[in-house]
Amino acid sequence: MRRMFSLKGKLALVTGAGSGIGAAIAEAFADAGARVVVTDVSAGSAAEQAARLTRKGGQAESMELDVTQETACEAVAAEVDRRFGRVHILVNNAGVGHVGRLLQTTTADLERLWSVNVRGVFQVTRAFLPRMIAAGGGAIVNLASIAGIVAVRDRLAYTTTKFAVVGFTKALALDHAREGIRCNCICPGRVETPFVTKMIAQYPDPAKARAEMEATQAIGRMAEPREIAAAALYLASDEAGSTTGTAMIVDGGWTAGK
């Protein structure tokens, strides 16, 4: 009997996979049989994660990728094509955040988030999409946020960019469905990643900040990266063949009452 959500024989590329959700997605894909190209703005972090997956018995390669640089995105797409062949699965996970309302957000803050969270997704997808179409199609998974579904207080720039990711996902799905391309995004709530843990530690009262973040979700805790990775595994798999243009909410019940 065929294993559900098997990615055996497929090549997947994950951006921002040096830690957190991206690392968990890369691990889930490798465990499901995919050969994974782990990319990150930090070449060292990417190499470390790829080595860890290889030690576990998976197939993994690493490449440095700054998604804000268009030429770098094109170069990586060409190099992956040359070295490994067709990419079946593309995960746009790289992202950054900012805490602040409008008056606590500078133009530079907005541009920094836009360059990674939106332009980065655009540039990476634009680099790989022609190759995926030429090879008969593939699955694209973008990491949005619950902040792309509902506004989140004190996260104006972040909310703006994640609404854009949701819109990009839906538009791409409509435009290329007949070319074999499926495009979906995941909208997590609070997730306990190294980035979030570091951010909590910077609050005047870290314990209070953690409790408040956990309380936003009906289940009373933050999600684990592996739980978001499970959603990505489904969306990347053949079992999701009829799923495209969706924004999958994995928020611990945050928006259940909204």
- Catalytic residue numbers, as ranges: 158
Please, what is the Cα angle at 27 between 233 and 253, to 5 degrees?
Answer: 50
Place of tokens 């797409």: 77
Please, what is the Cα angle at 255 between 254 and 258, to 5 degrees?
Answer: 135
Beta 59-64 vs 35-40: how paired, if at all? parallel
**Widest CA span in the chain:** 58
Residue 195 CB neighbours (<10 A): 15
Q: List the beta bridge partners of residue 138.
A: 181
* Amino acid identity for residue 163 in this structure: F
Q: Which residues contact 15 (CB under 8 A, 6 or more apart)?
A: 22, 39, 40, 65, 67, 91, 92, 93, 94, 120, 124
Please, what is the Cα angle at 31 between 26 and 35, to 5 degrees?
Answer: 60
Question: For residues 109 and 100, is the Cβ–Cβ distance under 8 A?
Answer: yes
Strands (E), 41-173: 59-64, 89-92, 138-143
